[in-house]
Amino acid sequence: MTRHGQDPADRPVVVNDDVRLRYAAERAQRQLTIDSIRADLEAQPSPRSIQAAARRWCNEITAMAEALAKQRRSTA
C-alpha cells in the first residue's frame, strides 16, 4: 500500500526470470529485424531509393499486420 505522496514507482517490482528472459528474447528479435531493415536501406544507392525502400517496408509490414489481425479475429 502506498502512503499519501509516495510514488508507486518507488516500490520494487518483482519480475521472475521467465518474464525477463522472454523480454530479452523479444527485444533481441526486434533488434535483428530493425538491423536487417537498416542494412537494406543503407544498401540503396540514392536518397530517393532509400525513401522508396522505406515506403515498401512500411507497406509490407502494414499489410502483414492487417492480414494477421484479420486472421486472429476470424479464429477468436
User: How many structural domains are present in the chain?
Assistant: 1
Q: Which has more pLDDT, 74 or 2?
A: 74
Dihedral (CA of 21, 25, 27, 31) sign: positive
Q: Does any domain span residue 54?
A: yes
What pLDDT, on a 0 to 100 scale, did the predictor assign at position 16? 85
What pLDDT, on a 0 to 100 scale, did the predictor assign at position 70? 97
Q: Does any domain span residue 1?
A: no
Q: Does any domain span residue 7?
A: no
Q: Which has more pLDDT, 17 or 60?
A: 60
3-state secondary structure of 72: helix
Range of the domain at 50: 15-75
Question: What is the DSSP secondary-structure string of 3-67?
Answer: PTT--GGGS-----HHHHHHHHHHHHHHHHHHHHHHHHHHT-SSHHHHHHHHHHHHHHHHHHHHH
pLDDT digits 0-9 by tens, 26-71: 999 999 999 999 999 999 999 999 999 999 999 999 999 999 999 9
Q: Does any domain span residue 10?
A: no
Q: Does any domain span residue 5?
A: no
What pLDDT, on a 0 to 100 scale, did the predictor assign at position 15? 73
